[in-house]
Amino acid sequence: MVLIYNGPIDVQSLLSSWYSAEHNRNYGAMVTFVGTVREEAGIEALSFDIYRPLLDKWFEGWKRRLEKEGALLAMAHSEGDVPVHTSSFACAIFSPKRRIALEMLDAFVEDFKANAPIWKYDVINGKRIYAKERSTPMAGSGLLAKD
Amino acid sequence: MVLIYNGPIDVQSLLSSWYSAEHNRNYGAMVTFVGTVREEAGIEALSFDIYRPLLDKWFEGWKRRLEKEGALLAMAHSEGDVPVHTSSFACAIFSPKRRIALEMLDAFVEDFKANAPIWKYDVINGKRIYAKERSTPMAGSGLLAKD
Amino acid sequence: MVKVEFLGPIGKSPVEVDASTLSELAEILKKDPEVAQWLEQSAVAVNDTMVESLDVKLKCGDKVSLLPPVCGG
Amino acid sequence: MVKVEFLGPIGKSPVEVDASTLSELAEILKKDPEVAQWLEQSAVAVNDTMVESLDVKLKCGDKVSLLPPVCGG
């Protein structure tokens, strides 16, 4: 299951807890990715909606894919407002050897961007504006627009 | 400069300090790699020698390469004995966007394995045995063996 | 009746619709201008499973979700 | 005199040698069986800069380092 934070992720305690839970299970490599809200275009924060049932399904699919490689996947994401310079996304992969961890981190983060059911909004002057230009239609989009 | 630990790295406080130093400098992505000593082939620990002047030179070269991409690099490594299930290597890359961070983490870790002046020993029954089979000759090796 | 959910920025409350295939549902949704503009860019899940064919049968109590373009992280 | 350091597993104390090029130094080191076996697999630094040519000139006080195969992490 994806760990959902209401607002920013407490990155320091999250990374600490992931490391301390797994470092003695004989994984030789841990890789992590943390996404932090950048100050740009006058935003105060980003805000997120999540559709949890599908996010968990998508995540469990990745978890199984990594388990086949002997690797372990963990992920957290924020819901609601995440102010500039705080973090909204974190993940970690533990694997026996480094190669799988490095390759899968890249593949997982890219697929996350394209297919995790999460919607992003800029928060400007307290108003929530859908980040349409930075969003990607999910695989299979347009089905109901077909003739 | 590379942070050198005498023995295992305190990964939790190291990752915390890296994150807390950089999260408010407008980097959108942090990636980290942590290497942990696996229990295998009857070893109690790994042990490391480091040639610091060249390690720092090699590291500063990578730091400059990443700075040109707007990214920041940090690294720590252990010297001496590092028991099984504790960690000997950690690095972090901070960059405005994720792509540079993900690509450079992979490239940096691979070059680290091939060209950082660090020597590894298995510790078995208290004896230090050079990990010859897992070691890689550095670029330019064999110069003094030429006729 | 089938329950249709409009996720994220579509910002419309769920509706109950009478449709026995996704094809029939598509025809109904195309008539709602508030929804029609999102159809081209939205993916579809039935009971929280992504679907890619209009032939999918719907039965009473099914949940259909419309998923507009995403951007996590 | 040039100072030669043997790093990591070579495990030999530094020596002072009389050599004005890396070529000359190579000839001297090949005669020491303890060192000779490492030459094929070792890289070389002069004053902490990696070098790839035997023509490198050496001057009094220079430091030459022999770097056997590495494995960090």
ipTM, 2 dp = 0.95
Containing structural domain, residue B86: 3-133
The CATH number linked to B116 is 3.90.1170.40
Confidence at A110, pLDDT banded by 50, 70, 90 = very high
Question: pLDDT per residue over B68-114, tens digit each?
Answer: 999 999 999 999 999 999 999 999 999 999 999 999 999 999 999 99
Rounded CA-CA distance B77/B49 in Å is 10
Q: Do chains A and C touch (3 or more CB pairs under 8 A)?
A: yes
Does any domain span residue B144? no
Q: Which residues contact A99 (CB under 8 A, 6 or more apart)?
A: none
From chain A residues 30-89, the ones with a CB under 8 A of any chain C CB are 35, 48-49, 51, 53-54, 57, 77, 88-89
Residue type, C7: L
- Residue C48's H or E segment, with its range, is none
Does any domain span residue C14? yes
Does any domain span residue A139? no
Does any domain span residue A142? no
Does any domain span residue A25? yes
Q: Which residues contact B127 (CB under 8 A, 6 or more apart)?
A: none
Rounded CA-CA distance B59/B76 in Å is 11
pLDDT for the residue numbered A42: 94
Does any domain span residue B146? no
How many separate domains does chain A show? 1
Containing structural domain, residue C39: 2-67
Residues of A in contact with B33 (CB under 8 A): 29-31, 98, 101-102
Q: CB–CB of A144 and C39 under 8 A?
A: yes
Q: Is the dihedral of CA A4, A6, A7, A13 positive or negative?
A: negative
CB neighbour class for C60 (10 Å; exposed up to 12, middle 13-18, buried from 19): exposed
How many separate domains does chain C show? 1
Does any domain span residue A147? no
Does any domain span residue A34? yes
Does any domain span residue C55? yes
The CATH number linked to D54 is 3.10.20.30
Does any domain span residue D73? no
Residue B147: is its pLDDT beyond 80?
no
